[in-house]
Amino acid sequence: MGEEFRARASHWSSKARKAMGEGGSSDVAISNFLSCFGHSTHVTPAN
């Protein structure tokens, strides 16, 4: 069961990283939301 848990966690972690990455679904949604308020959404990552 531990192996299955780790595999699923890795799967969802990868999906979350893609969604939050530049051009991902969450990135686009946040940018669209902020643009409603006239905010620039170009941000330089801190690393």
Q: DSSP for 1-36?
A: -HHHHHHHHHHHHHHHHHHHSTTSHHHHHHHHHHHT
Domain map (residue ranges) of the chain: 1-38
| pLDDT, averaged across the chain | 87
Q: Residue 37: CB partners within 8 Å, gap ≥ 6?
A: none
Q: Is the pTM of this model over 0.75?
A: no
Residue where the block lists tokens 């620039």: 40
Q: What mean pLDDT is predicted for residues 20-28?
A: 93
Query: What is the predicted pLDDT for the residue at 1?
Result: 79
Q: How confident is the model at residue 38 (pLDDT cuts 50, 70, 90)?
A: confident
Among candidate residues 43, 36, 6, the one with its CA nearest the CA of residue 21:
43
Q: How confident is the model at residue 14 (pLDDT cuts 50, 70, 90)?
A: very high
Q: What mean pLDDT is predicted for residues 11-37?
A: 92
Integer Cα distance of 19 and 13 in angstroms: 10
